[in-house]
Structure 1
Amino acid sequence: MFTGIIEELGKITCIKNESVSAKISISAHKVLEDVAIGDSIAVNGICLTVTSFTKDCFQADVMPQTMRKSSLSAVTKNSFVNLERAMSVSKRFGGHIVSGHIDGTGIITNIKTEENAVWFSIKATSDLMKTIIERGSITIDGISLTVAKVDYSQNVFEVSTIPHTREVTNLKYKKRGDLVNLETDIIGKYVYHLMNIPNDTINAMDNVKPVNNKGLSLDFLASNGFL
């Protein structure tokens, strides 16, 4: 799990593309301070597993589904990517609950400046827009941001960013037409799903008989090793 608070910018140093998968190498410093093989690092919001590393670089495998679903298919050597280690229980929870499992991508349609703020307009699919609400949380390339405006008729939402956010993330390199990874609010997704389960699915679930209909008891817990 992540928070969407970016720790540093990394740079793609090598991409070895297969037919539909890839192996990437990323230069970094801070996220490698306590790294171990098998650790999770969010790369532009995508949870990837460290397969090898040196003092200033790490490697990760990108499976076909991730390439299809994310903007990693569009990155090139020397592209800057946002990096965040998995959340530690000893740190402050500064952003919001981020799984690192993106829901899809969006396209930056407009960038405008308003005094110290820069607004980004992003077009998403109608499915993603169903769980995007004003003043709700959204993750853009792994960055925890607040949705400022929503236009459901155009499938567009907007976020407003402060100078610090742009300085420490790859937003400062973004331009119109760029593809970004999106992860909508995890709580909102579950609520939407529960409110929209098809009747045939509910009926199928109702017809499933429980393995143990005696309920939870001390005997049950003891027999299953909990006591």
Structure 2
Amino acid sequence: MFTGLTERVGRLDRLTSGAAGVLARIGCGDLAPELRIGESVAVDGVCLTVVGTGRDWFEADLSPETLGRTSLGAKEPGSSLNLERALRISDRLGGHLVQGHVDGVGILVEVRPEGSGRRVRVTPPPSTRRYLIEKGSVALDGVSLTVATLKGRDFEVALIPHTIEATTLGEWQAARRINLEVDLLAKYVEKLLSPYPIADSEGG
């Protein structure tokens, strides 16, 4: 479990064929000595398991499921990546509960200046739209953000200067593919209520 607060911006060093699909080596600077084999790390919002470490890098397997459902398989060596270690029970929950289980890949439609920050418009996968509400939470490339507004099939989020500087979101440009995870609580509520029909506003 994660919070959507990026600890470090790392880089993709290389992708090589491995026994479990593709082996990714990710540069992470002085975060590497703190990592242990078997530990979970969110990489651009994707929960990966550490299978090897070095002085300033770690390695993780990308399964066919991960390659097909997320944007990681399309990354080029040198790409910047948002990194976050798993939440400890004693940590503050500064963002929102993020599993690192990507629900789909959205498309970045527009980035425009807004005061000292930026406004970003995203087209989400159709299967995720019903979980998005104004002022609700969404994780984009592993970063916890608030849905500012819904516009047709799209939604917008606002980026403050700190987010732009401390994550890869400052590099965002139109047409970029973004890992999207909707609010976990919204999915549980839907599942719990699914056996019960909801009356319409006319009282039917």
The counterpart of 2:168, out of the listed 144, 164, 170, is 170
Quote the residue 2:130 is aligned against. 130
Residue 91 of structure 1 and its aligned partner are, at CA, apart by 2.0
* Map of 2:95 onto structure 1: 95
Q: Quick one: which amino acid aligns to residue 118 of structure 2?
A: V
Which amino acid counterpart does residue 185 of structure 1 have in structure 2? D
Larger radius of gyration: 1
Question: What per-residue deviation string (whole Å, max 9, x for no partner) do you get for residues 95-118 of structure 1?
Answer: 100111110110000001011120
Q: Distance in 1 between matches of 2:76 and 2:4?
A: 23
In structure 2, how many angstroms separate the alpha carbons of the residues matched to 1:96 and 1:33?
Answer: 27
Indicate how the Cα distance of structure 1 residues 88 and 30 shifts in structure 2: closer, same or farther if over 3 A, else same. farther
Give the alignment's Cα RMSD to 1 decimal: 1.8
Distance 2:78 2:29 in 1: 16
What are the equivalent positions in structure 2 for 1:95-114 lying under 5 Å apart?
Answer: 95-114=95-114
Q: Which residue of 1 aligns with 2:202?
A: none
Instruction: Give the deviation of 1:20 after TM superposition.
Output: 9.5
Q: Residue 184 of structure 1 corresponds to which residue in structure 2?
A: 182
Q: How many residues align?
A: 197
Higher strand proportion, which one? 2
CA distance in 1, matches of 2:194, 2:146: 25
Q: Does the Cα contact within 8 Å between 1:14 and 1:26 map onto a contact in 2? A: yes
In structure 1, give the amino acid aligned to 2:165: E
Q: TM-score scaled to structure 1, two decimals?
A: 0.82
| Residue 29 (structure 1) aligned with residue 19 (structure 2) | no
Distance 1:175 1:19 in 2: 34
Shift of 1:178: 0.3
Asked if structure 1 preserves the Cα contact closer than 8 Å seen for 2:30 and 2:56, the reply is no
Query: Within 5 A, what are the aligned runs for 1:1-227?
Result: 1-17=1-17, 21-151=21-151, 153=152, 155-197=153-195
Query: Aligned AA for 1:132?
Result: L
Change (3 A) 1:165 1:190: same
Please say if residues 5 and 95 of structure 1, whose CA atoms lie closer than 8 Å, have aligned partners that are also in contact: yes
With normalisation by structure 2, the TM-score equals 0.91
Instruction: Give % identity.
Output: 38
Structure 1, residues 92-146: CA drift from partner, whole Å, max 9, x if none?
1111001111101100000010111201100012210110110000000000000
Unaligned runs of 5+ in 1: 200-227
Query: Secondary structure at 1:130's aligned position in 2?
Result: helix
Cα distance between partner residues in 1 of 2:195 and 2:73: 32
- Residue 77 of structure 1 deviates from its aligned partner by 0.2
- Alignment partner, residue 223 of structure 1: none
Inter-partner Cα distance in structure 1 for 2:129 and 2:2: 22
C-alpha deviation, 1:187, in angstroms: 0.3
Residue 21 (structure 1) shift:
3.0
Partners in 1 of 2:163 and 2:86 — Cα distance? 19
Partners of 2:195 and 2:79 lie apart in 1 by 40
In the alignment, the residues of structure 1 paired with residue 48 and residue 24 of structure 2 have an alpha-carbon distance, to the nearest angstrom, of: 10
